[in-house]
Amino acid sequence: MSVTDAQLAEIEHLRGDAAPTRRATVPDLEALLYQPLPVLDHGFVRVIDYMGNDAAVVQAARVSYGRGTRQVSEDAGLIRYLMRHRHSTPFEMCELKLHVKLPIFVARQWIRHRTANVNEYSARYSVLDREFYLPAPEHLGVQADSNRQGRGAALGPAEAARVLDILRRDAETAYSHYEELLNRRDDGSIVDPERPGLARELARINLSLSYYTQWYWKIDLNNLLHFLSLRADSHAQYEIRAYAGVILDVVARWVPLVFSAFQEYRLGGIHLSATGVGVIRRLLAGEAVTLETSNLGRREWQELMTVLGCDHDRNAG
């Protein structure tokens, strides 16, 4: 993770500048405010602001004035009911604002979630830092045979070293040319006063997707949970999954009752089709159900058998 001295000084200033408020706060999340939580080699996630807590979800569901004499167990039960039955509106009453530093290729996956407010660092206005993502050797995998958009087994040590060398050299060369086009050095000084620098909006086009960008990202809790259900999943690309893992920890601190329900019904649960439910009922009744008699497609059958702990290559029953 790369944070400059100036950024560290700003973080210390923000963390030391407390403001009184009458709104609900969460001590565990307050302790994280503004701190960069490292992700990958140069990235981070920072909590900048938030609105609401577990009680805000309950309050919205009941449309009440406050907690009254309710017990935490009652709130937990209601939140679990809301999560279980996909009553999403009360979760929209809470919001989280993050500052994220991430590789451009991760940002392009992330931005597909169009339910957030985003303001990204502008390379038309400012100069990008000389920071690019290099995967750890164990994350350099071959193209997966069964997944057209995923990776398979890790490369051997020699091949991984060769790939990393190519990635590093290409990224460094691209940045050197970027500076040459801008006619500037790392410290911002002009290289040749007689030569005009290319416009920043054009000089940037030769940089690779491995370079880091930054943005402020604000989203309500309901849409954040949807983002996490997809990006924290084992099928997601490792790099965006690394960010999702850090944000999961933030959510656990912010709204622990919601997080517990989310783990139970979304992360650890499954969604079954009507036909899938029918297969389970038939199995419970003692029927020997096979792929051919299940009325499921092969992939859905395999997924169901995996969840049930059955060998999907053999007849079930």
Q: Output the pTM of the full model.
A: 0.89
The mean-pLDDT minimum among 88-102, 190-204, 247-261 falls in 190-204
Provide the CB-side half-sphere exposure for 38 (13 A, CA). 6
User: Which residue has better confidence, 8 or 70?
Assistant: 8
> Which is nearest to 218 in space by CA: 252, 259, 257, 247?
247
- Specify the pLDDT at position 314: 54
Active site residues: 231
30: Cα within 13 Å, side-chain hemisphere: 13
Higher-pLDDT residue of 289 and 64 is 289
CA distance 315 to 293: 10
d(CA 164, CA 272): 42
The b/e string for 203-216 (b: 16+ C-beta within 10 A; e otherwise) is bbeebbebbbbbbb
Cα distances from 224 to residues 34, 220, 232, in angstroms, run: 19, 6, 11
287 pLDDT band, cuts 50/70/90, is very high
Cα–Cα distance between 23 and 288 in angstroms, integer? 58
Query: What's the pLDDT tens digit per position in 175-204?
Result: 999 999 999 887 778 888 889 999 999 999
- pLDDT > 80? residue 249: yes
pLDDT band at 22 (very low <50, low <70, confident <90, very high): confident
Q: What is the pLDDT of residue 9?
A: 85
Helix axes 54-62, 72-84, angle to 10 degrees: 70
Assess whether pLDDT exceeds 80 at residue 64.
no
Reply yes or no on whether the pLDDT at 316 is more than 70: no
DSSP string, 203-263: HGGGS-TTBEEEEEEEEEHHHHHHHHHHHSSTTS-HHHHHHHHHHHHHHHHH-HHHHHHHI
Residue pointed to by tokens 């329900």: 261
Phi, psi (rounded to 5 degrees) for 189: -75, 155
Q: Which residue has the tokens 């060998």?
A: 311
Check whether 274 has a pLDDT greater than 80: yes
Binning pLDDT at 50, 70 and 90, where does residue 317 land? very low
Instruction: Kindly tell me if the per-residue pLDDT of 315 is higher than 70.
Output: no
What is the spatial distance between Cα 101 and Cα 40, in angstroms, rounded to a whole number?
A: 10
Lowest mean pLDDT among 49-53, 80-84, 305-309: 305-309
pLDDT reported for residue 54:
95
